[in-house]
Amino acid sequence: MGAGSIALATPADPQEETVLTPAARCAAAIEVLADIAGRRRPAADALKDWGLNHRFAGSGDRGGIASLVYDALRRRSSAAWIMGDDSPRAVLLGSLRLQQGLAAPSIAALFNGEGFAPEKLAENEGRRLSEGNLADAPPHVAGDVPEWVLPQLEAILGDELLPELKALARRAPLDIRVNALKGDREAAMPGLAHHGAAPTPHAPMGLRVPIGADGRGPALHVEPEFLDGWYEIQDEGSQLAAMMSGARKGETVVDLCAGGGGKTLALAALTGNGGRLVATDDDPRRLAPIHERLRRSGANAEVRTPRGGRMRTDVLGDLDGHVDRVLVDAPCTGTGTWRRNPDAKWRLRPGSLAARVAEQATVLDRAGSLVRPGGRITYVTCSLLPAENDDAVAGFLARGGGAFAVVPAREVADAHAPGLAEALRFTAHGLQMSPARTGTDGFYVATLTRAG
C-alpha cells in the first residue's frame, strides 16, 4: 500500500456518518490506546467511553478508530520493537507500517501536527519507520504474543511457530453459517451477492464475506436474511468443530457449555431438528441471547438455565448415563481467537490459564457422567495451548480409570469433514485447526467414547 492508503478514513458503508479526518482518527486512536494501557482495561470499554465523550464523531469515525486500535494491539510488540518505544503513539506508528503497510512518507502526512492531527514526526521516528525491521526480534516479539506463553505455543506449533503467530496477528475473516433448517448454501447466496459472499474452503454451509480495507465487514445483522434466520455469524472453524460432534437424528445431545447458543444452533441444523437437544451453561447470564437466536433460526432446543446462589440445582441430573453425545465447548483462554480479540492476549495471565484448566476438568467430568455406554463426548476449545487441549483430555482419561477411550482424530475428521485432514495438525489425542493451516480460528477438537 502506498500514499493512497491514507484513505483509511473512508467508511465501510457510504451511509455512515464521518466527521474526523484520517489524521484526527490517528490522534483519537492514540488517546484510546493510552486509556487501555493506563487503566488496564478491555479495548471495547475504552472505545465505548471515547465514543460517549465525543458524540460528534459519526459511526464511520468510531469504526475507523476501532480498526486502528485493534490493529495496533495485534502488532503491539513488533510495532514497539521497530520504533524502539512502547508508548501508545509509537505502537500506533509501528502498526501503521506493519499492519496497514504504509510507507514513512504516508505516515508523516498523517502525523503532521496540523489541526487535530498528532504531533509531527520526530527525526528518530521517521528513521525508525524507514529502517526498523524485525530481523533480530525474538519470536515472542516478531509473533506478537506474551513471552510467558511461548513455550506452550512452541510445543504445538513447532517449526511453524512464526508463520502461525503472524497469521494469528492478522485480521480475521467474516464467516457465516447458512442455516440448513431454512435452506442450502446455494439458496442463501443470492441474498448476499451484493456483499461478495463466497463459499468457505472447508465447511459445507459456510460463506465468507470480504472485509473492507479498514478491517470491517458489512453490518450483516441488519440484513433481512439474518433477521429471518437464514444464517448466523460463525467462524468456519467453529462450524467444523460442531460438525465433528457427529450429532444425528434420533439422538439425545447435550450442549454443556452453550453460552449464547452458536453451536446449539449448528447442532440443531445437523440433526434437522430430529433429535432431543438440550442446551445449558454453568453461567445463566451467558445463556441470555440463546432464546431469541433459537426463535429466529427455527431450531428446537430445550434450554435449561441453572439457578444461582443457594437455590442452585443440577439441571441435568435426570439425564445422567442416558445421553448419546455431549458437546463440551469448554471455557478457555481464547488464544485461538486472538485475531478477533487482540487485546485479550495482552491481558492473559498465568493465573487465568490455571483457572481455565480447572474449569475444563470440571466440565469434562460432568460430561463423563452424562454420556451413556457407547456414547461420545466432543471436547472443543478455541485455544492453541496444550495445557487446555491434550493435557486436559489426558487428565480426564486418567481420572476415568479406563472408562473412556479416544476416538482417532483422523477418523473423526474423515467422517465429518471430508478433505480437511490434510490441513489439520494432529496431536496425541485430538486435532488442531489454526489460522495458517486451515484459515480458521485456532480450534482444538477431541472425541472420546465411553466403554460399552
pLDDT at site 311 = 63
Q: What is the mean pLDDT of the chain?
A: 94
Domains recognised in the chain with CATH numbers:
3-132 (1.10.940), 174-233 (3.30.70.1170), 236-450 (3.40.50.150)
Chain centroid to CA 437: 16
Taking the alpha carbons at both ends of the chain, their separation in whole angstroms is 60
Provide mean pLDDT across the span 86-95: 98
Please report which helix (H) or strand (E) contains residue 326, including its range: strand 323-329
Q: What span, in angstroms and rounded, lies between the C-alpha atoms of 344 and 202?
A: 27
Whether pLDDT at 10 is above 50: no
Residue 213: all three cell numbers together: 480495507
Residue 122 has pLDDT above 90, yes or no: yes
pLDDT in tens, 199-242: 999 999 999 999 988 788 999 999 999 999 999 999 999 999 99
What local confidence, expressed as pLDDT, does residue 5 receive? 32
Provide CB contacts within 8 A for 57, sequence distance 6+: 19, 20, 28, 51, 65
> Is residue 3 scored above 60 in pLDDT?
no
Cβ atoms of residues 118 and 30 within 8 Å = yes
Cβ–Cβ contacts within 10 Å for residue 58, how many? 15
**8 A C-beta contact, residue 181 and residue 298:** yes
281 known member of a binding site: yes
Q: Which residue has 506493519 as its cell numbers?
A: 98
Predicted TM-score (pTM) of this structure:
0.93
- Hey, what amino acid is at 182? K
Q: What per-residue confidence (pLDDT) applies to 313?
A: 79
For residue 320, say whether it is annotated as part of any ligand binding site: no
CB 219 within 8 A of CB 192: no
Cell 502506498 belongs to: 2
Look at strands 252-255 and 323-329 and give their pairing.
parallel
pLDDT given at position 84? 97
Report angle CA 51, 261, 319 to the nearest 5 degrees: 150
- What are the beta bridge partners of residue 404? 450
Long-range pairs for 431-434: beta carbons < 8 A, 24 or more residues apart: 432/156, 432/384, 432/389, 433/237, 433/240, 433/241, 433/336, 434/157, 434/164, 434/167, 434/168, 434/336, 434/384
Tell me the C-alpha distance between 426 and 431, whole Å: 4
Angle between helices 43-53 and 22-39 (to 10 degrees): 130
DSSP state of 197: -
**Does the pLDDT at position 148 exceed 90?**
yes
Please, are residues 141 and 185 in contact by the beta-carbon 8 Å criterion? Answer: no
Mean of pLDDT values over 147-163: 97
pLDDT tens, residue by residue, 319-331: 999 999 999 999 9
| pLDDT reported for residue 15 | 47
Residue with cell 451467558: 286
Q: Of 430, 388, 433, 434, nearest to 412 (Cα)?
A: 430
What's the pLDDT at 310?
65
Q: H helices within 132-250, ranges in order?
A: 139-142, 150-157, 161-168, 185-188, 224-227, 236-243
Distances (CA, A) of 1 to 37, 65, 68, 118, 119: 29, 19, 16, 21, 23
Active-site residue list: 382
Q: 130-140 pLDDT, tens per residue?
A: 999 999 999 99
The Cβ of residue 45 has, within 10 Å, a number of other Cβ atoms equal to 13
Span 102-122, average pLDDT: 96
pLDDT of residue 21: 94
pLDDT at 7 over 50: no
Hey, what's the cell of 10? 473512508
pLDDT in tens, 393-448: 999 999 999 999 999 999 999 999 999 999 999 999 999 999 999 999 999 999 99
